Chains A and B, each alone.
Chain A
Amino acid sequence: MTMPSILVACEHWLLQYRRTWRGTLTSSILAPLLYLATLGLGLGASFDLQVQAHTQRVDYVVFVAPGLLAGWALQTAAEVSAYPVATAMRMDRTYHGMASSPVGYRGAYAGHLAFIALRVAINCAIFLAVLGALGIVTSWWAVVALFVAVLTGMSCAAPILAFSAAITRDASLTTLTRLVVTPLFLFSGIFYPVSVFPTVLQWLISVTPLWNGAELCRQLMTGHADLRPALLHLLVLGCYLLLGTVAAERMFKRRLTL
């Protein structure tokens, strides 16, 4: 696998995106802002809610915003690495074309992952810019949070991509959304501190990629990041990315070369 082959595969998705990006504006740009406006601002104001974020109590919207940043990294990753991957594997057979060209099966998945990283980065950067413009985020550490958000997105995208490449029925993707993506989004401490849950559940949540990503983003964006816990969060995210990539490698090899 060489750098150019990843770029070529990535370019394929970029070309397609150039035709369809308008249609994704609602789901990728407006939807997180809608969550922010209603759940963050609306609900926060309605109940005059303040929440504990580490050492300080903050307005609810300040708590929710970093969570939504990481949460939308997951949603974007899921959007780009589920149906498009399954379609390219089984319907359009785009990957087969790539695999039989010099791009190879490795270039096929690595290029798609690169494209996903780009999509996550764009969506999260815009969301972050709006947060800055609204004055919800003031710390410059937020720039680092953007990188954490992209890493969070990728740590979710790699396993989802491997799964979507492996399935044989589209209904499995519906199951993935309902049993994995939505539960992650709702229970990973995006909307409230996980301390409301029983201890066992808290442990379980603390190994999910989204909780680690959301926690680290929140620490960075409220300006309270400590090195040691930060490294631990990064380590968890890195593990998911690594395992997901290994799974994707095996799945693409099996379906495209054997």
Chain B
Amino acid sequence: MKSAILTDVSAVVERNFLVARKTWSVLLSGMIEPVLFLLSIGLGLGSLLGPVEVGGETVPYLVYFAPALIATSAMNGALYDSTVNFFWKLRYRRLYKQLLSAPMNIKGIVAGEIVWAQLRGVVYAVVMLVIIGVCGGLRSPWAALAVPAALVVGFAFAAIGVAIATVMRNWQDLDPVRFGTLVLFLASGTFFPTSAYPPAVGHLVELSPLYASNELVRAFCVGRVGAAQLLQVAYLVALTVGALWIAVRRFGRLHAD
């Protein structure tokens, strides 16, 4: 029933759009954080730092750091939407009880939530890309591909977030999620190359989904694209599929009683 899924997805997206119309300022201000980091760390701290090597090319710190903000904000947006918002609807507002009383299916609803999160993610990525460009952080026309790359990143983290939301029991369970996000943000080759770590730690960090995301977006923004990017995309897609599988199974169990 392909058309059924499409109906479900578009209904969920439309519902979220109706709500977002009322709270657009909150949505908009969500873009402020990465911009602040760009100005403070990328430009401010960056002015004290030497160049960094990316894919064999030496680039200023801003050029190194800025793409990671696109990946990070794709991650944050997707995770926030899929954990906080999704959990809220799942457990407290019982929104999904309404949807399941209507002729909608679980797969369609989960897909709808993720598509909505991604639509927002695309807007964020485009705006960030423009701001980075204005600040002089882009090097190549390949940078346009950073938007679809951010989409791949967003899908992976949205799927992971939805999977997490279905196993969460209460709001306190969000604390480790938030902390985990902070660990990923600070450690995954966002601010400095993994070569700064002892080799064992460095390899561990390179397994992080945000590391793959950062490297992927960075490769496009700097214009040094190679086979490594295929591997990163494959890794993120695999994560998406795995997390979705868990999410749909858990979600079905929660609502079948």
Chain B's nearest CB lies how many Å from the CB of A242? 29
- Known: A30-B179, A39-B186, A171-B26. Is A196-B196 also a contact (CB below 8 A)? no
Minimum CB–CB distance from A187 to chain B (whole Å) comes to 6
Question: Chain B: interface residue count, which band?
Answer: 20 to 34
Asked if B33 is at the interface of the complex by the 8 Å CB criterion, the answer is yes
Asked if A26 is an interface residue, CB under 8 A from chain B, the answer is yes
| Structural contact, A27 and B178, CB atoms closer than 8 A | yes
Kindly identify, within residues 167 to 200 of chain A, every residue whose CB is under 8 Å from any CB belonging to chain B: 171, 174-175, 178-179, 182-183, 186-187, 191-192, 196-197
* Interface check A135, CB cutoff 8 A: no
Cα distance, A31 to B183, chains bound together (Å): 8
A38 touches B186 (CB 8 A): yes
Instruction: Kindly state the separation between the CA atoms of A239 and B192 in the bound complex, as whole angstroms.
Output: 39
For B23, what are the chain A residues with a Cβ–Cβ distance below 8 Å? 171
* Size category of the binding interface on chain A: 20 to 34
The reply to whether the CB of B101 lies closer than 8 angstroms to some CB of chain A is no
| Main SS class of interface, A | helix
Q: Does A46 contact B (CB under 8 A)?
A: yes
Stretch among B38-46, B105-113, B233-241 lining the A interface = B38-46
Q: Which of A175, A186, A197 contacts B29 (CB 8 A)?
A: A175
Contacts of A178 in B (CB 8 A): 29-30, 32-33
CA distance in complex: A47, B64 (Å)? 13
Query: Among the listed B29, B37, B49, B186, which residue makes an inter-chain contact with A179, where contact means beta carbons less than 8 Å apart?
Result: B29
- Bound CA–CA A171/B30 (angstroms): 12
- Smallest Cβ distance from A211 to chain B, in angstroms? 13
Task: Find chain A residues with CB under 8 A from B175 CB.
Answer: 23-24, 26-27
Among B33, B179, B187, B195, point to the contact of A182 (Cβ < 8 A): B33
Task: Name B139-157 residues within 8 Å CB distance of A.
Answer: none
Contact check, B196 vs A45: say whether CB atoms are below 8 A apart. Answer: yes
A51 within 8 A of B: yes
Q: Does B182 contact A (CB under 8 A)?
A: yes
Q: Contact check: which of B41, B50, B179 meets A26 at CB < 8 Å?
A: B179
- Whether A183 pairs with B196 at a CB distance below 8 angstroms is no
Tell me if A130 is interfacial: C-beta within 8 Å of chain B.
no
Contacts of A46 in B (CB 8 A): 192-193, 195-196
Q: Check A43 against B192 for contact (C-beta < 8 Å).
A: yes
Closest to A190 in B: B40
Q: Within the complex, what minimum Cβ distance (angstroms) separates B39 from chain A? A: 8
Whole-angstrom CA separation of A206 from B138 in the bound complex: 32
Question: Which residue from A26, A27, A35, A182 sits with its C-beta under 8 Å from B36?
Answer: A182
**Contact present for B29 and A23 (CB under 8 Å):** no
- Which residues of chain A are near B196, meaning CB under 8 Å? 42-43, 45-46
- Residue of A34, A39, A179, A186 near B183 (CB, 8 A) is A34
A34 to B186, CA, bound (A): 8
Tell me if B199 counts as interface (CB < 8 A to partner A).
Answer: no
Question: For A182, what are the chain B residues with a Cβ–Cβ distance below 8 Å?
Answer: 32-33, 36
CB distance from B90 to the nearest CB of A (A): 19
Contact B32 A179 (CB under 8 A): yes
A49: interface (CB < 8 Å): yes
From B49, which residue of chain A is reached at the shortest CB distance?
Answer: A47
Cβ-defined contact, B33 with A47, below 8 A: no
Cβ of B41 and Cβ of A186 under 8 Å apart? yes
User: What does the 1/0 interface line of B85-127 toward A look like (CB < 8 Å)?
Assistant: 0000000000000000000000000000000000000000000
- Asked whether B37 lies within 8 Å of A47 as measured between CB atoms, the reply is no
22 pairs across A/B with beta carbons < 8 Å?
A23-B172, A27-B179, A39-B186, A42-B197, A45-B196, A46-B192, A46-B193, A47-B50, A47-B192, A49-B49, A51-B48, A171-B25, A171-B26, A175-B25, A175-B26, A175-B29, A178-B32, A182-B33, A186-B36, A187-B36, A187-B40, A192-B44
Q: Which residues of B pack against A, CB within 8 Å?
A: 23, 25-26, 29-30, 32-33, 36-37, 39-41, 44-45, 47-50, 172, 175-176, 178-179, 182-183, 186-187, 191-193, 195-197
- List the 4 shortest-distance A-B pairs measured between CB atoms, nearest first: A46-B196, A186-B40, A26-B179, A46-B192
Extra A-B contacts (16), CB below 8 Å, given A178-B33, A179-B29: A23-B172, A23-B175, A24-B175, A26-B175, A38-B186, A38-B192, A39-B186, A39-B191, A42-B197, A45-B196, A46-B196, A175-B25, A175-B29, A187-B44, A196-B45, A196-B47
